[in-house]
Structure 1
Amino acid sequence: MNHWIIAPILLPAIMAPILLMSARHDIVLARVFSLASTVALLGIALALGSMVGDGQILTYALGNWVAPFGIVLVADRLSVMMLVLTALLALAVLFFAIDGGDRDGRHFHALYQFQLMGINGAFLTGDFFNLFVFFEVLLIASYGLMVHGGGPARVKAGVQYVVINLVGSTLFLIAVGMIYSVAGTLNMADLAFKVPQVAAADQALLQAGALLLLLVFCIKAALVPVHFWLPGTYANAPAPVAALFAIMTKVGAYCVIRLYVLAFGETAGAAAWLAAPWLLPAALVTLTLGMLGVLAARRLGQLASFAVIGSMGMLLTGIALFTPTALAAALYYLLHSTLAGAVLFLIADLIARRRPGLDDQLAPAPRFAQQSLLAAAFFVAAIAATGMPPLSGFVGKLLILDAARDNLQATTIWALVLGTSLLAIIGFGRAGSTLFWKSTSQPGSFPTPASGNALALVAIGLLLAGNVALTLFAGPLTAYLDATAEQVFATHRYIEAVLGNTVLPGGLL
């Protein structure tokens, strides 16, 4: 049993109360502790990545209680990849926050660590009830982060965010109760083993519970028709919080991959590929509405929020095809869209700070400090977000389109992906020309801020460099993601790693 598996959960869980008790009155000490913890988290995630790089699946039984009776954590290629992505994003966002935004509230860094604890736990858990527990941890922390700094608009958006997630949590409990009543387990591996054995008389209850759980995950992923909470929430959240929230929607996508390939995939009998008929149409509609929102946005924060919705539609389109090739393409797009979405919120915040009175409104205004630098950053981010060559968004969309060629809905998928890409290009082009090109003809200029925001610019540079790196190393990265997708679809390996090879006569192989 490898004890390093629990470290990504344990480290922020210990650091958060330390920050609450010892550093809440000393912002410098809080920053040092939070930054050190996040750097260590990245190191641990990379170390775990090297351990599972050969295809090994690691497990950790808390209290040494064996699965399926005890709490189990599972680290495979997919979950560890998500840990590395979370740590990289968290580190870049933390640089942006400690440039001044963390001063708006006393407990920012403690809540930030609790948020990381919940996200990491959701990726590592091997049990659906504990997935619910980690969901609640990350959501409670996100409630506090959402209203960080206060303000009527932020509090109003926070209330909406709390209400929709409380509804989602209630549905989550109802769904797992329905599944447990017929399967007798919530351990993911054990559920995958028992779902094919569920009696025909209990199939309706099992499938209803699984579809209700799909609805919960779609709420987290902001998928139509439960996407309406995201634009107001993300656009009004503090910039570093909105940027970190870029990984939150991916938690929902990760859960869809984990449950509906492992437990309701090819071996699930009457419940096989239960999510497929529902997920693909919803993903395509989400993609369309998201990019229409980009076209209609009146503020840069709104534009970034709708771009996140559109990117989730694209991501879940790839996932909904439920093939290893499509999943590998979707995972590449997941990496790209997380970094591209996060950097848009940070750029929007720096522009808003430099245009007092207008903030991030898409309206011409006099010149402001570092306009050329921010214009260049926005230009690179827009190329990535819209899927234009040569950056990673183009590669990701091309991979998904290629994976969809043999699907019965290939024509629809291709038409919507290409059509919405055009909408995104027009929307981002309009925003960029209004903020930077048309503004050059406006007389006067805004005063230069007292702070140069050096660390904030470093954070933006790191995220943009991540998108460039995804492009430059697309070859070896896609090879790794192909192997990751193959491992996800080889469900017997996951079951054997968690339960052992004795659950079937002669083993699982």
Structure 2
Amino acid sequence: MISSAVQLVLVVILLLHVQQNGLLHYAIGNWQAPFGIILVADTLSMVLVCLTSFLALGAICYGSAGEDEKGSFFHPLFQFQVMGINGAFLTGDLFNLFVFFEVLLIASYALLIHAGGKNKTKAAVHYVVLNLTGSAIFLFSLAVLYGTLGTLNIVDMAQKVAVLPAEDLMLVKSGGLMLMIVFALKAAVLPLQFWLPATYSSASAPVAALFAVMTKIGIYALLRVYTTIFGADAGPLQGMAADWLLPAGLATIVLGAIGVISSHDFRKLVANLVLVSVGTLVAMVALHTELSAAAALYYTVHSTLVTAALFLIADLISNQRGKAADRLVSGRRVVQPILLGSLFMLAAMAVAGLPPLSGFIGKLMLLQAVTEPANRALLWAVILMCSLLVIVGLSRAGSTLFWRVSGGDASGDKAAPLQVFAVCWLLLASPLLVIFAGPLTELSQQAAAQLYDTDTAARAILGSAATEGDVP
């Protein structure tokens, strides 16, 4: 817990440094780009690292209330996963993105089956097989791109793609589309989403809360690769993923909303809320504008923390309802109805996008980011209708969990102080995102502008020769 708190302080200091002084990069072993391993801290990556650190502190506090004692090596595995997530956000090299993917996935395999159980083992097998398949495709795509471009440094790849010979276009396009498949699998985009509900709903509460940020790594990779490498200067390869991502994102929103109203237990419902947020973010990535990127970043912070809090609330409710657990059926009254009911109501309002919480501002930014009339009609209709379905699903779940009471008196364990603190810590982010909406939206816009300013990034990482046609 102390180490997670110290990390949060350090990453906030680093974010402020990057915001004031611009992009910061670190060449490990002093081997400069494009040959060495480069870690890059820009505003976008640092906001996401701050999000991960904030989330990790809440999850580790909740886990330290007793969940960590139900299995072996919870804390080192947790820290390894945080390291992998942070590394994925900070790497400036596609091969090392693969390496950090593997670090976080290996830790997640063990965390998923923490404390054991049939459902966890079954979900873990599916999760491992799918991710190993995705890793194999990732390696094939990297081999194709490296064989064609001679580099895997992200900004260097962007320079090479801008002057790509016509005979290499199809090879690079095939490698780029294979990357899209891998990142879509990591983000759980339709039709590669079927692993997520079972995996997230079977994981222990602090693990599921940390997993809330893992789908955002896939979203971040899509945004980074298809803005920097295959962005405005990519010629015929510009925006090659948009035609696939927009319909896939909209379909994922619809599927997630249907899952919310049809879920038979509360954990599955929250897992489907993650799908709704994933689809929304993928649709924003497909729009390929600074405005949509800024809106996506704000919505990422909001949705990740609120869904993580809901996973923790689901566990608290499950522990106090006896055999009914978190199933959406009548059961015993929870031991702390006022506390848990208030936390549920706050989280439900935030995730559904009701004012005055952060979900409302996030949805408003998303809708305003859609500028093309054709896309506006489609996206507004899907997002608003599915928001209505989410409100209906959460209202049904809340009335069932807290009002449909049967059986004996309330029994079960009261929430430990650390558990209550963890939930409040994560939910506190929603009103704070509203109170500081002005500077935070400016920060999101700054991150989006920096993301699209590939020339400045290339000069900072590769040197001044990068934009002059010479060998750096």
Instruction: Using structure 2 for the length normalisation, give the TM-score.
Output: 0.98
Aligned pair 1:500/2:463, yes or no? yes
Output one character per residue of 1:280-300: Cα deviation in whole Å (capped at 9) or x when no partner: 110000000001100100000
* Other structure's SS at 2:324 match: coil
* Other structure's SS at 2:322 match: coil
User: Larger deviation: 224-233 or 43-52?
Assistant: 43-52
- Which of 423, 428, 444 aligns to 1:481? It is 444
Given the superposition, is the C-alpha separation of residues 136 and 504 from structure 1 closer, same or farther in structure 2, using an over 3 Å criterion?
Answer: same
* Aligned partners of 2:58 and 2:425 also within 8 Å: yes
Task: Give the 5 Å matches for 1:423-438.
Answer: 423-438=389-404
Output one character per residue of 1:129-184: Cα deviation in whole Å (capped at 9) or x when no partner: 01100000000000000000000111100111101100110010011111111111
* Other structure's SS at 2:323 match: coil
Counterpart in 2 of 1:255?
A: 221
Q: Distance in 1 between matches of 2:7 and 2:49?
A: 9
Alignment-mate amino acid for residue 321 of structure 2: R
| 1:318 CA displacement | 1.6
Q: How high is the sequence identity, in percent, across the aligned residues? A: 47
Aligned pair 1:228/2:191, yes or no? no
Counterpart in 2 of 1:383?
A: 349
Counterpart in 2 of 1:114?
A: 80
Q: Distance in 1 between matches of 2:445 and 2:370?
A: 16
Counterpart in 2 of 1:172?
A: 138
Q: Distance in 2 between matches of 1:172 and 1:407?
A: 36
Counterpart in 1 of 2:360?
A: 394
Task: Give the 5 Å matches for 1:340-379.
Answer: 340-379=306-345
Counterpart in 2 of 1:421?
A: 387
Q: Distance in 1 between matches of 2:337 and 2:49?
A: 35
Task: Give the 5 Å matches for 1:80-479.
Answer: 80-439=46-405, 442=406, 444-449=408-413, 452-479=415-442
* Aligned partners of 1:340 and 1:381 also within 8 Å: yes
Q: Distance in 2 between matches of 1:470 and 1:143?
A: 32
Q: Structure 1: which 5+ residue stretches go unaligned? A: 1-34
Q: Distance in 1 between matches of 2:209 and 2:469?
A: 49
| 1:319 CA displacement | 1.8
Aligned residue pairs total 471
Task: Give the 5 Å matches for 1:25-64.
Answer: 35-54=1-20, 56-64=22-30
RMSD: 1.3
Q: Distance in 1 between matches of 2:407 and 2:192?
A: 44
| 1:506 CA displacement | 8.5
| 1:368 CA displacement | 2.0
Q: Distance in 2 between matches of 1:447 and 1:295?
A: 28
Q: Distance in 2 between matches of 1:476 and 1:504?
A: 32
Output one character per residue of 1:417-436: Cα deviation in whole Å (capped at 9) or x when no partner: 11101110100010001111
* Other structure's SS at 2:306 match: helix
Structure 1 runs of 4+ with >6 Å offset: none
* Aligned partners of 2:324 and 2:330 also within 8 Å: no
* Other structure's SS at 1:224 match: coil
Q: Distance in 2 between matches of 1:383 and 1:456?
A: 21
Alignment-mate amino acid for residue 95 of structure 2: F
Output one character per residue of 1:74-133: Cα deviation in whole Å (capped at 9) or x when no partner: 011011111110000000111100011000112000100110111111011110001100
Alignment-mate amino acid for residue 465 of structure 2: T
* Aligned partners of 1:315 and 1:330 also within 8 Å: yes
Counterpart in 2 of 1:17?
A: none
| 1:448 CA displacement | 4.0
Q: Distance in 2 between matches of 1:312 and 1:351?
A: 25
Q: Distance in 2 between matches of 1:395 and 1:447?
A: 39
* Aligned partners of 1:145 and 1:241 also within 8 Å: yes
Q: Distance in 2 between matches of 1:55 and 1:304?
A: 39
Q: Structure 2: which 5+ residue stretches go unaligned? A: none
* Other structure's SS at 2:466 match: coil
| 1:408 CA displacement | 2.9
* Other structure's SS at 1:73 match: strand
Alignment-mate amino acid for residue 77 of structure 1: T
* Aligned partners of 2:321 and 2:412 also within 8 Å: no
| 1:407 CA displacement | 4.9
Q: Distance in 2 between matches of 1:97 and 1:309?
A: 24
Q: Distance in 1 between matches of 2:51 and 2:99?
A: 22
Given the superposition, is the C-alpha separation of residues 36 and 297 from structure 1 closer, same or farther in structure 2, using an over 3 Å criterion?
Answer: same
Alignment-mate amino acid for residue 108 of structure 1: F
* Aligned partners of 1:501 and 1:507 also within 8 Å: no
Counterpart in 2 of 1:491?
A: 454
Q: Distance in 2 between matches of 1:179 and 1:391?
A: 44
Q: Distance in 1 between matches of 2:398 and 2:282?
A: 28
